[in-house]
Amino acid sequence: MKALGTNRNGIFGFLAHIHPPKIPKDAAGLWPTLCLGGLSFGFFVVLIFTGFLLMPFYKPGSPSEALDSVLTIEEALAYGSFLRSLHFFAGQLMIIVLVGHTLRVLASGAFAPPRRGNWLIGMSLLVLTFFLDFSGYLLIGDERAMDASRVAFGLLGEVPLLGGIFQALVFGADPVGQGAGLRLYALHCGVLPFLALGLCAWHFYRVRRDGGVSRGL
């Protein structure tokens, strides 16, 4: 019987290619990428950590309940204001760095074959990050967040054929009701982060699988 480690067509063959042993030396340094991809993932880790610490004190539901819990975090929880600020600024910095990362990829031609597939994964991550940031903004529950929820609800309704389904999935029947808050909370803290983690793993795998980053057109 063949040893499991020599089964190149099985799971060990797949694992052997997750982290290829060699990439070009000039693709491994700081300057080809400015480390923007790694920085964006670092901010994502900060978001996960701070979000996990804030979760027990946030109350999803109606906008008033949500806003009261945010104010409690800010004013009554030890280091609550610091944690919430860190969570907020990490989200904004992640978007800024991701936009810079996208521009670098465009400038270097890394969107072209053989990296076309990874370009599409990266663009999916960028869009998903915008959704994560926006859903977090809606969870605050203040007047601006409620106005933004109504606008988003209306925009989803304009999607041809699937608008009503998207509205029901994201907000339910009322964009500022208790059901909307619970749905947004589930998306922001459960569904979207796990999707982002999965896409990140796939994205990093493809960078290595494609021989490192593109070093220019």
Q: Provide the residue-wise pLDDT of the chain in tens; the chain has 217 residues.
A: 444 444 445 555 555 555 555 555 555 555 556 678 889 999 999 999 999 999 999 999 889 999 999 999 999 999 999 999 999 999 999 999 999 988 888 887 777 777 888 889 999 999 999 999 999 999 999 999 999 999 999 999 999 989 999 999 999 889 998 889 999 999 999 999 999 999 999 998 888 777 666 655 4
> Domain containing 115 — which CATH number?
1.20.810.10
* Buried/exposed code over 33-42 (b: 16+ C-beta within 10 A; e: otherwise): beebbebbbe
Instruction: Report the domain count for the chain.
Output: 1
27 located within any domain: no
User: What's the confidence (pLDDT) of residue 16?
Assistant: 57
> pTM for this one?
0.82
23 located within any domain: no
11 located within any domain: no
Entry field: residues in the chain? 217
13 located within any domain: no
Q: Name the burial class of residue 97, with classes exposed (0-12), middle (13-18) and buried (19+) by CB atoms within 10 angstroms of its CB.
A: buried
Question: 154 lies in which domain range?
Answer: 33-209
Contact 183, 170 (CB under 8 A): yes
Q: CA 201 → CA 18, 80, 84, 140, 213, distances in Å?
A: 10, 31, 27, 30, 16
Is residue 170 helix, strand or coil? helix
1 located within any domain: no
User: What's the confidence (pLDDT) of residue 208?
Assistant: 76
User: What's the confidence (pLDDT) of residue 15?
Assistant: 57
Contacts of range 185-194, beta carbons closer than 8 Å, 24 or more positions apart:
185/58, 185/60, 185/139, 187/131, 187/135, 188/132, 188/135, 188/136, 188/139, 189/51, 189/55, 192/128, 192/131, 192/132, 192/135, 193/48, 193/51, 193/132
76 located within any domain: yes
101 located within any domain: yes
Could you tell me which of 103, 99, 110, 100 has the C-alpha nearest to residue 213? 110
85 located within any domain: yes
